Structure 1
Amino acid sequence: MGRVAASSLVFLLAIIVDKGLPSPLAGKEAWNYVEVRDGAHMFWWLYYADSQSAGYKDLPLVMWLQGGPGGSGSGFGNFDEIGPLNKDLEPRKTSWVQAASVLFVDNPVGTGFSYTDRPDAYATNVATVASDMLVLLKHFFTERAEFQGVPFYIFSESYGGKMAAAISLELTKAIAQGTVKCNFAGVALGDSWISPLDSVMTWGPYLYTTSLLDDYGLAEVSSAAEAVKKAVEQQQFVKATELWSVVETVVEQNTNGVNFYNILTQEPDDKLASIAGEDFISLQTRRHIRPLHSQSLSELMNGPIRKKLGIIPQNVTWGGQAEEVFSNMAGDFMRPVVDIVDQLLTAGVNVTVYNGQLDLIVDTMGQELWVKQLKWDGLSGFNKLRWTALDDPTSPGVTGAFYKTYKNFSFYWILKAGHMIPSDQGPMALQMLKMIIQQD
């Protein structure tokens, strides 16, 4: 796995033609594995910026981290959200590659095409996740020194935001110590699991105010959430994770299957019927991992994409270790990382929070609660600002988002979007990206 594998457009076209699928956008790519620990192999996939107005060295580098934990950035983030091609291998008009080079990393180890050689090599907390990523980033910026000077941003979604916060703090320290050479420009936390308890405690009120719970349902959801709160306060985090799952079941039962990723959609009846017979890990895998590993995406990744990459070990299946990734992180799942965000802000790191209006799992109400808990000395100034409206790029005069920026902290409220903002509101997400990477 020591060699660097880079595709050529001709090679990719040959595979696509062989499958009878449309041609991709022209562009330069690279990918490889890094052994971040003994028996722990992490996969990365880079798309060089494809802009008509600037070369890739004149544009930022964005690393994208998916949620779960166990969701694959090389798969879901790439083909369902921001990569140059969609799942049908057709060009995406709102791809982030037109504004920046994009680096997808399958993390924690065991996610996507990343893999472990043995059961004890999985990460069990964000500290290990951050340590693993620092090994990968050191390798990446050493082997691709042309990226050392370009602004480097970490963008994330869901649990990826929790990991991104921890990674950003360790990266800041490593740069100061001279062990990693890069121009770290900021971190963006999208619908991120920064303060799990604040999310859970606001599910009831949010659903009630959107007419998705009645008084009885509100009482039941709130009661179940209080049990989670008690477990967190007692530092019983494995128990808290299990009780969090119970709250989700109570929500599903009282809303007739509201979708946690977008409250305007609903889970099919057959999924609801299976709840009673599932154990905790299987239930959470169904709710939060399988949506990132649809059958069509799995067939793409384990078929033509695997063939294209050419370096995936024979015994590795894309997404094959995702459930183990999630179960090994269960004890860390409900731990907050608000203090880490505080440390980033105090250190002068640019931090952006962005959230979808229709997201339930990480509802905006919960995000605003933990932001108000920050000890950062700029918080009072941020709170005094009124937000600014942003037009929907596809509908001039129609509001697509609101945002506020004060010193090194920004918050974007993305309208008509659920948990996966680039999937739901691609043009607005791309505009936000451009605003964030140009604000310096």
Structure 2
Amino acid sequence: MVSYALVASLLPLLINFSESVPFSNSKEEWDYVEVRDGAHMFWWLYYADNPTKNFSELPLVMWLQGGPGASGCGFGNFLEIGPLNIKLQPRNTSWVKEASILFVDNPVGTGFSYVTSKDAFTKNVSDITNDMLVLLQDFFKARPEFQSVPFYIFSESYGGKMAAAIGLSLHKAVQSRSIKCNFAGVALGDSWISPLDSVLTWGPYLYSISMLDEEGLSEVNVAAKKVQEAFDRGDYAKATSLWSDAENVVEKNTDGVNFYNILNMDPDDNKKVSHMQNGPLVSLFQRHVKRFQQQDLDQLMNGPIRKKLKIIPDSVTWGGQSGDVFMYMSEDFMKPVIDIVDQLLAEQVNVTVYNGQLDLIVDTVGQEAWVKKLKWPGQPMFNSMKWKPLYVSPDDTAAFFKAYQNFAFYWILKAGHMIPADQGEMALKMLRMVTNQE
């Protein structure tokens, strides 16, 4: 994960001058959509800022963050692909150079999105999908200039699970003409498509890179097997609790490996999450959502950015409802959506999977495992193909990829869970390839 010590020392200065927070060079818009009674979803759009092409000649990309409960308008925007970084300086590898970018704080309650009643929180990907279709219908109707440009859904982590379901429903909505847009495909980055395949491969992956000894491998595998047994019984709540236990076993045996980049070890006991003290759901939330709502990002979003946007209700705090988002979605955590990916492929929707080599929480071995479970007729041919190297400089192999028909897979080297933050140039190259600009 990125170190923010320097940024934290600068943020008080930024906050004092919050009235002069810069806009990017790109044209920007933002607003709320009330997707249901009491459920308000926030979005933030950057028009493409390309030196030679008008935005209408470039694709529109919607970015969905994970968690669930992590803010795309905050994390994805300022720490990964937006035009400005967390110091509010131009990002050299911003995706706005090659596409218009639509960030959405999704599900409702995430980031600047909010609900006015506990009953309005989503509980599964079906709820999330229904809300997103309301937002997209409103967005494309109000901005007809985007109805004909290719529209892609890119995602990260749990956002990939949401992106697959949203993509399938959007495809059907376009076919029925209830939404007018040029839907071009989904890209699933380090995505929680098949949680069990991730958990079951943690041990073998860590052992293969000398981060577990044989005894540790055995302990992790035993913990993962318990998750599988609960999963096989259909007891998803228990499987989630046991998933948290398995993560604790991994941390104990690896001296605190970072689940988002295995090279960023964190052995400090004070930084580890205690399952015994907090319970499984709170531990999972602290490990996978709360830790990324760092003080510096929180101060930026609730200070200068809030003042810039001017439309955030006084009662709403950026990230203030993220814990509730996570808890209400907990029954959905361990449910796979491999079947939805199969349906996307059967409908001839373009599907891209991309994964960071150094990711653990959604390790590449687990991604390959669920891909092999697809019933897609093109899978045997895809499996038999050789991958090809990709370069961002002549002397640096940055990734491998292969594609067949409407399915592609990118293996991104030297990157963890947050690929654009770790390998910005390669992520930008992948964006151009997926959107047929390279």
Taking structure 2 as the reference length, what is the TM-score of the superposition? 0.95
Q: CA RMSD in A?
A: 1.5
1:100-124 deviation per Cα after TM superposition (whole angstroms, max 9, x unaligned): 0000000000000000001111000
SS state at 1:111 partner: coil
> Mean alpha-carbon deviation: is it higher for 88-97 or for 229-238?
229-238
Which residue of 1 is the match for residue 253 of structure 2?
Answer: 254
1:96 has 2:111 as partner: no
Decide which of 420, 423, 426 is 2:424's aligned counterpart: 426
Residue 279 of structure 1, CA deviation: 1.8
SS state at 2:264 partner: strand
Which residue of 1 is the match for residue 160 of structure 2?
Answer: 161
* Distance in 1, Cα, partners of 2:92 & 2:273: 38
* Distance in 2, Cα, partners of 1:323 & 1:118: 14
1:379-404 deviation per Cα after TM superposition (whole angstroms, max 9, x unaligned): 1111111000011x2x3221000000
1:211 has 2:210 as partner: yes
Which residue of 2 is the match for residue 8 of structure 1?
Answer: none
Which residue of 1 is the match for residue 401 of structure 2?
Answer: 403
1:18 has 2:17 as partner: yes
1:117-152 deviation per Cα after TM superposition (whole angstroms, max 9, x unaligned): 011110000000001000000000000111000000
Residue 269 of structure 1, CA deviation: 2.4
Taking structure 1 as the reference length, what is the TM-score of the superposition? 0.94
Amino acid of the structure 1 residue aligned with 2:435: I
Q: How does 1:168-317 map to 2 (within 5 A)?
A: 168-267=167-266, 268-272=268-272, 274-317=274-317
* Distance in 1, Cα, partners of 2:93 & 2:117: 39
Which residue of 2 is the match for residue 70 of structure 1?
Answer: 69
Residue 53 of structure 1, CA deviation: 1.0
* Distance in 2, Cα, partners of 1:153 & 1:285: 29
Residue 220 of structure 1, CA deviation: 0.6
SS state at 1:208 partner: helix
Say if 2:71 and 2:106, in contact at 8 Å, map to a contact too: yes
1:183-235 deviation per Cα after TM superposition (whole angstroms, max 9, x unaligned): 00010000000000000000000000011111111111000100110111111
Which residue of 2 is the match for residue 390 of structure 1?
Answer: 390
Sort the Cα spacing of 1:215 and 1:293 in 2 relative to 1 into closer, same or farther, 3 A: same
Say if 2:174 and 2:180, in contact at 8 Å, map to a contact too: yes
Unaligned 5+ residue runs, structure 1? 1-14
1:246-300 deviation per Cα after TM superposition (whole angstroms, max 9, x unaligned): 1001100111100000001122321227443222222112100023211100000
Which stretches of structure 1, 4 residues or more, deviate above 2 A after TM superposition? Answer: 15-25, 272-276
Say if 1:72 and 1:292, in contact at 8 Å, map to a contact too: no
Which residue of 2 is the match for residue 366 of structure 1?
Answer: 366
* Distance in 1, Cα, partners of 2:137 & 2:16: 37
Say if 2:19 and 2:308, in contact at 8 Å, map to a contact too: no
Sort the Cα spacing of 1:383 and 1:149 in 2 relative to 1 into closer, same or farther, 3 A: same
Say if 1:208 and 1:218, in contact at 8 Å, map to a contact too: yes
Say if 1:389 and 1:401, in contact at 8 Å, map to a contact too: yes
Say if 2:106 and 2:113, in contact at 8 Å, map to a contact too: yes
SS state at 1:27 partner: coil
Amino acid of the structure 2 residue aligned with 1:182: C
Number of residue pairs matched by the alignment? 424
Say if 2:273 and 2:283, in contact at 8 Å, map to a contact too: no
Which residue of 2 is the match for residue 357 of structure 1?
Answer: 357
Amino acid of the structure 2 residue aligned with 1:332: D
